[in-house]
Amino acid sequence: IERTLVLVKPDGVQRGLTGTILSRIEAKGYRLAELKQVEASRELLEKHYEEHVGKPFYEPLVEFMLSGPVVAAVFEGHRVIEGFRSLAGTTDPTIAAPGTIRGDFGRDWGVKVQQNLVHGSDSAESAEREIGIWFA
């Protein structure tokens, strides 16, 4: 069975959207397999975001992810990776389609990093790698 790592980022937790976000994923039909709230360390975030090292938004992204608790979850189901990315909407919340998590609840707050509420793995390989980091 395919698995994906979902993170409710600090903006989502701080705004009280954790339940709403998890509930949309469950309502779509995916099974919640693991769930926890964590204060991520810089070391953990550097591993998670290693592919973005050197990009202009890398440091603001790590700082943002350190700014408050994150909720980490594993969801399971056929094609859940693709399915969750469709539920989440495109990266930029200003233009994410209404009906998606980012499109319904996100906007541009005029800061350096896109505060876009959620993360979802982008491939089976990254899902297994990321689940290993967050649920070691």
For residues 39 to 78, the per-residue mask of contacts with ligand ATP, x marking binding by CB under 6 A and - elsewhere, is ------------------x---x-----------------
48 flagged as catalytic:
no
31 marked as binding residue: no
Of 66, 55, 74, give the one whose Cα is nearest residue 11. Answer: 66
Token pair of 17 as six digits = 């959207």
Q: Of the candidates 72, 116, 127, 131, which one interacts with ligand ATP according to CB under 6 A?
A: 116
| The one catalytic residue among 48, 52, 78, 119 | 119
Give the span between the Cα atoms of 43 and 40, in whole angstroms. Answer: 8
Between 6 and 77, name the residue whose CB sits nearer to ligand ATP: 6
Query: How far does CA 134 lie from the centroid of its chain?
Result: 12
- For the bound state, the minimum distance from the C-beta of residue 8 to ligand ATP, rounded and expressed in Å, comes to 11
- For the bound state, the minimum distance from the C-beta of residue 104 to ligand ATP, rounded and expressed in Å, comes to 16
Give the span between the Cα atoms of 106 and 65, in whole angstroms. Answer: 16
102 marked as binding residue: yes
Burial of 8 per CB tally in 10 Å (0-12, 13-18, 19+): buried
- For the bound state, the minimum distance from the C-beta of residue 123 to ligand ATP, rounded and expressed in Å, comes to 11
Which amino acids are annotated catalytic? 119
